[in-house]
Amino acid sequence: MLNIYDYIELAEAVANEIAALPVVEQYKELQRHIAVDPQLKDLVRAFERAKEHQEESRRFGDYYPDKEKVRTDLIQTKTALFENASVKAFKKCEKEIQMILDDLSRSMEDVVEFDTGKKSGGCGSSCGCS
């Protein structure tokens, strides 16, 4: 039977394996690139401003001037940002990493059973509602 320290070591080993995956390295590299690229910084700032204007226009509803222009600006800045090759590659890596983590989570659910009562249909023995 494993003790808590064995589980911690296993979790660290899994985390290290995930961190060493090529997709994670590529993700980190793209993240660094996006953070320092002046063109991307401008695109991100423009998108953030457009989102703020959109939120402001929502608060005021139909009374906000140029509501349609605000919506159009948001669409254009979002498209410009997310059509950038580096951002596309970053998002692709992000999605792949999320799929890996989801698969790992599902695998762990099959192996580790917690006393939550989910499998038996009850609320668990620890809540006292039996």
| Residue 12: pLDDT over 80 | yes
Res 76: pLDDT: 97
Domain positions in the chain are 22-104
Average pLDDT, the chain: 86
For the stretch 55-69, pLDDT in tens is 988 888 878 788 889
Res 2: pLDDT: 76
Res 120: pLDDT: 46
Average pLDDT over residues 48-54: 95
DSSP state of 120: T
In contact, 50 and 70? CB cutoff 8 Å: yes
* pTM > 0.85: no
Locus of tokens 């668990």: 124
